[in-house]
Structures are given as structure tokens and as C-alpha cells.
A and B are shown apart, each in its own frame.
Chain A
């Protein structure tokens, strides 16, 4: 099992550009989520999904979109990148729920917005 994978590992964008961060898991987990990690602020939940076709907002959803068409994939779209979105992004999955079970994190994507 590859676990949770993310692409790309690094990305530099200019303000206003859009892009999609990819996340995939091969553990047949129903629950998937996206976090951003900023110095001194821990991990903050952006969006999450409890299964294919179902998504919901986390603490900091503004400027991001998600969709969940399959159990395996949960892409995160930045609509119009801003410098405030410079961060490290982690995707995570768990078998039964973000609030009740172990979350397995991907390796992260380091995003810089100029």
C-alpha cells in the first residue's frame, strides 16, 4: 500500500493563478481531509469529506474548493492564489471519521504564492 500520496511536493504560483493539489489514498478510507500548516498555528482544517459525493467546510475554507467523485481521490483547488495561501498543505484520510479515528497524513505540498 502506498498510503496517502500527494502531488506536487513543491509549487510556486503567482498571485491570481489557479491550481489543483492532488491527493489519493489506497486504503479504502471513507473520510478524507485537507489541512494547512503555518508556523505557530498548528494544522487547520480547510475542507473534509465523509464519502464520495459529500464534502463540508472546515475552519479556513475561503479561497479553496474541493470535490470527491471517487473514494480514492480528494483534490484541493485554489481558485485565485493569494500570498496568504503560502503554506504547507497536508491531505489526510481515516477509516471512520476525522473526529473518531487515526488520521493518516500524506507527505505534504509546500506552496509558495508570490
Chain B
């Protein structure tokens, strides 16, 4: 079926280090891959997205890479800060105008 796998489920890094979260998807027709950040008790909010005609996109300390052949995409956060601590969700578009989310990664940045 349509699914998105996300790894790792938890990630602890030291402040200033980089963090990488990886996702794989099943539907070869997927063409939109957003990443959402959810702070404790809050709603998910989009932080970056990438479309299938682009291999990489960067926004300040955040970057996303996409490998359509292998059907995986990754979120890279550089120079992590305590305020980056949150749950991060990847997602992929599926047939029928739907978005399927990964299970989430809890990122803890230790100062």
C-alpha cells in the first residue's frame, strides 16, 4: 500500500552539530515532499518542501535532498540549536491528491 517510512524515530544531537532524518516512500508517482515541525502541544507547521523536478533545496540551516530513483528523501539541519528540538514529520503525495505522513522523528538538541 501507500506508505512512508521515517528514520530514526528519535535523534539526540549536541548543540551545533548536524541532524539528518531520512524517509522512503512507496508510490513512484509521488511528486511533492514536505517536511513539518511540531513543537510540544502545538500544530504541525511546514518548514520546507521539495518537488520531484528538483534534487535539493536549501533554506538557511535547513536543506532537503530527494533521490527519485531510490525513492527516498532526507532533511538536513545544520548548526542545530535548542529551539530545533521538536517532532519532525516527512510526507509524500500519493495518488488521489492525498498526503501520507511518516511516523515522525523526535529531535532533541542538547546544550
Interface size on A, residues (CB 8 A): 26
Segment of A16-24, A41-49, A63-71, A73-81 engaged in the interface with chain B: A41-49
Closest 8 A/B residue pairs (Cβ): A99-B93, A105-B43, A42-B101, A43-B101, A42-B103, A99-B97, A98-B99, A97-B97
Among B6, B9, B98, chain A packs the most CB atoms within 10 A around the CB of B98
Interface size on B, residues (CB 8 A): 25
Chain A interface mostly helix, strand, loop or mixed?
loop
Chain B interface mostly helix, strand, loop or mixed?
strand
- Chain B: CB-nearest residue to A50: B97
Task: Tell whether, in the assembled complex, residue A103 and residue B102 are in contact, meaning their CB atoms are under 8 Å apart.
Answer: no
Q: In the complex the two chains form, what is the Cα distance from A62 to B46 in whole Å?
A: 28
Q: In the complex the two chains form, what is the Cα distance from A33 to B44 in whole Å?
A: 14
A4-58 residues at the B interface, CB under 8 angstroms: 31, 33, 35, 40-45, 48, 50, 56, 58
For residue B79, give the distance in angstroms from its CB to the closest CB of chain A: 25
Inter-chain contact total with CB atoms closer than 8 Å: 60
Task: Tell whether, in the assembled complex, residue A90 and residue B97 are in contact, meaning their CB atoms are under 8 Å apart.
Answer: no
Partner of A105, one of B6, B9, B44, B91: B44
Partner of B46, one of A44, A99, A102: A102
Task: Tell whether, in the assembled complex, residue B44 and residue A59 are in contact, meaning their CB atoms are under 8 Å apart.
Answer: no
